[in-house]
Amino acid sequence: MTDVGEVIARTHRAEWARVVATLARRFGDLDIAEEMAAEAFATAVERWPVDGVPPNPGGWLTTTAHRKAVDRVRREARREEKHREALMLSDTPEPLGAIDDDRLRLVFTCCHPALAMETRVALTLRMVGGLTVPEIAHAFLVQETAMGQRITRAKTKIKAARIPYRVPSREDLPARVTGVLAVLYLIFNEGYLASDPGQEAVRADLTAEAIRLTRLVRALLPADGEVAGLLALMLLTEARRTARVSASGELVTLGEQDRGAWDRELIAEGHALVRARLATGQAPGRYQILAAINAVHTDARDIRDTDWSQVVALYDQLVRLDPSPIVRLNRAIAVAELDGPGVALAEVDRLPLEGYHAFHATRADLLRRLGRSTQSRAAYDRAIALAGNTAETAYLVRRRDQLTGPLTGRTPADEQLSS
């Protein structure tokens, strides 16, 4: 039973987007696509432990979901015309257009310019990444109910406006790429900074898929600097993945990681992308600046060798493009290394991030370094209450309990990719 459950979980990660993409293309309705895909997986949970895993799990799920969708459409007389169209399309090969990867096609399809950017991103994370509403809400730092309503409204607008969910042509790609990159970035972040308290600290399946899809986007749009920047950012972050969690399952922050365990091939590839973008002389965008910051960190052989003045200067550029509180929080962490924890704390205390665990973890560390143990403990307690997973919680508990020890080390906010 356990083995079958693991197979279903792996199949969900591998096949969810393809099943949803197929149904959305055939029926032109995202609600039907999502709900029937979910029903197909629910049927697999019931049937596979009894009947055995089919030889082609993805094909079984697609066929099951399609049959359920046809049955539902038949039951709804007002959709009779859509039913006939679906039956005609079901046996008609869909032209691939500019994109021949199912999951990437669905990403570009969902990132429709008629939708607001945040709505495109949230909808695509749900439909393509298979992320739950709580996971998406965590990525956006909003309440679950608000995010659920946003996704529902997006699908309602699609229906009301009769937005065609056709395969995007090559001419469509530039208008949609900004939303696509935002989606891929958040999928990567959800994998690297897993938000579910009960799950592993790093979900390698999500980070690997985000990198794979970003490589495909770069092949489609090789001259786009932000595509190259995002790929570099992912590679330089992924290079540190194996050093990020200890053998005991505790978060290991940037300053404490074994740099000898970093993946040098990924770092070399990421650095090459950053250098290539710098050589163009073009003004960098958000992802390119974030990649450059990570290049500075991964270029240092020891945390003490980090060029913090360069990091702060890069954050200054980023703040001009994206003055969000999280970007300013990460900038303050670098300021602490350059100008001291007191200067950084004054900046942090002005940020409206009361519900964000890394804000409290950063305050806790700065207060600790200033010798204000009582306030530091209170900040650690708040960070622990808001922490995203068990590895991070274990780290924060240990740091809180060591308040009488040495006042050194980085905070979990070092591990945040500004979002």
Residue 6 reports pLDDT greater than 60: yes
Number of domains in the chain: 2
Residue 29 reports pLDDT greater than 80: no
Q: Contact, 412 vs 395, CB < 8 A?
A: yes
Q: What gap in Å lies between CA 416 and CA 243, rounded to an integer?
A: 15
Range of the domain at 407: 226-415
Residues 88 and 233 in one domain: no
End position of a domain, from candidates 43, 75, 94? 94
Q: Does a structural domain hold residue 276? A: yes
Name the band, by pLDDT with cuts 50, 70 and 90, for residue 332. very high
pLDDT of residue 341: 97
Q: Does a structural domain hold residue 262? A: yes
Higher pLDDT, 14 or 311: 311
Q: Does a structural domain hold residue 137? A: no
Q: Contact, 323 vs 338, CB < 8 A?
A: no
Residues constituting the chain: 419
Give the residue-averaged pLDDT of 357-377: 96
pLDDT of residue 77: 53
Residue 91 reports pLDDT greater than 50: no
Name the band, by pLDDT with cuts 50, 70 and 90, for residue 14. confident
Name the band, by pLDDT with cuts 50, 70 and 90, for residue 123. confident
pLDDT of residue 9: 83
Residue 65 reports pLDDT greater than 90: yes
Q: Contact, 343 vs 336, CB < 8 A?
A: yes
Name the band, by pLDDT with cuts 50, 70 and 90, for residue 407. very low
pLDDT of residue 97: 55
Residue 178 reports pLDDT greater than 80: yes
Task: Please give the share of the chain, as a percent, with pLDDT higher than 90.
Answer: 51
Q: Does a structural domain hold residue 99? A: no
CATH code for the domain in which residue 36 is found:
1.10.1740
Q: Does a structural domain hold residue 103? A: no
What phi and psi, each to the nearest 5 degrees, are found at residue 245? -125, 135
pLDDT of residue 307: 97
Q: Does a structural domain hold residue 370? A: yes
Let me know the angle formed at the C-alpha of 220 by 217 and 222, rounded to the nearest 5 degrees.
90
pLDDT of residue 139: 73
Residue 285 reports pLDDT greater than 50: yes
pLDDT in tens, 215-256: 999 999 999 999 999 999 999 999 999 899 898 889 899 999
Residue 334 reports pLDDT greater than 80: yes
Residues 241 and 384 in one domain: yes
Q: Contact, 68 vs 44, CB < 8 A?
A: no
Q: Does a structural domain hold residue 410? A: yes
pLDDT of residue 315: 98
Average pLDDT, the chain: 85
Q: Does a structural domain hold residue 34? A: yes
End position of a domain, from candidates 51, 70, 94? 94
The pTM of the full predicted model, rounded to 2 decimals, is 0.80
End position of a domain, from candidates 94, 127, 154? 94
Q: What gap in Å lies between CA 30 and CA 122, rounded to an integer?
A: 14
Joined tokens for residue 184: 């891929």
| Residues near 308 by beta carbon (within 8 Å), at least 6 away in sequence | 334, 337, 338
Residue 22 reports pLDDT greater than 90: no
Residues 232 and 378 in one domain: yes
Residue 360 reports pLDDT greater than 80: yes
pLDDT of residue 303: 92
pLDDT of residue 219: 92
Q: Of 19-33, 344-358, 402-416, which gets the smallest average pLDDT?
A: 402-416
Higher pLDDT, 249 or 201: 249
pLDDT of residue 82: 56
For residue 312, the one-letter residue type is V
C-alpha pair distances (Å), 243 with each of 201, 211, 256, 257: 12, 19, 9, 6
CATH code for the domain in which residue 315 is found:
1.25.40
C-alpha pair distances (Å), 418 with each of 114, 194, 323, 350: 26, 15, 11, 17
pLDDT of residue 164: 56
Give the residue-averaged pLDDT of 351-363: 96
Give the residue-averaged pLDDT of 183-190: 86
Q: Contact, 24 vs 165, CB < 8 A?
A: yes
Q: What gap in Å lies between CA 261 and CA 252, rounded to an integer?
A: 12
Name the band, by pLDDT with cuts 50, 70 and 90, for residue 300. very high
3-state secondary structure the chain: CHHHHHHHHHHHHHHHHHHHHHHHHHHCCHHHHHHHHHHHHHHHHHHHHHHCCCCCHHHHHHHHHHHHHHHHHHHCHHHHHHHHHHHHHHCCCCCCCCCCCHHHHHHHHHCCCCCCHHHHHHHHHHHCCCCCHHHHHHHHCCCHHHHHHHHHHHHHHHHHHCCCCCCCCHHHHHHHHHHHHHHHHHHHHHHHCCCCCCCCCCCHHHHHHHHHHHHHHHHHCCCCHHHHHHHHHHHHHHCCHHHCECCCCCECCHHHCCHHHCCHHHHHHHHHHHHHHHHHCCCCCHHHHHHHHHHHHHHCCCHHHCCHHHHHHHHHHHHHHCCCHHHHHHHHHHHHHHHCHHHHHHHHCCCCCCCCHHHHHHHHHHHHHCCCHHHHHHHHHHHHHHCCCHHHHHHHHHHHHCCCCCCCCCCHHHHCCCC
pLDDT of residue 162: 61
Residues 233 and 87 in one domain: no
C-alpha pair distances (Å), 357 with each of 203, 230, 392: 19, 25, 10
pLDDT of residue 93: 46
Residue 374 reports pLDDT greater than 60: yes
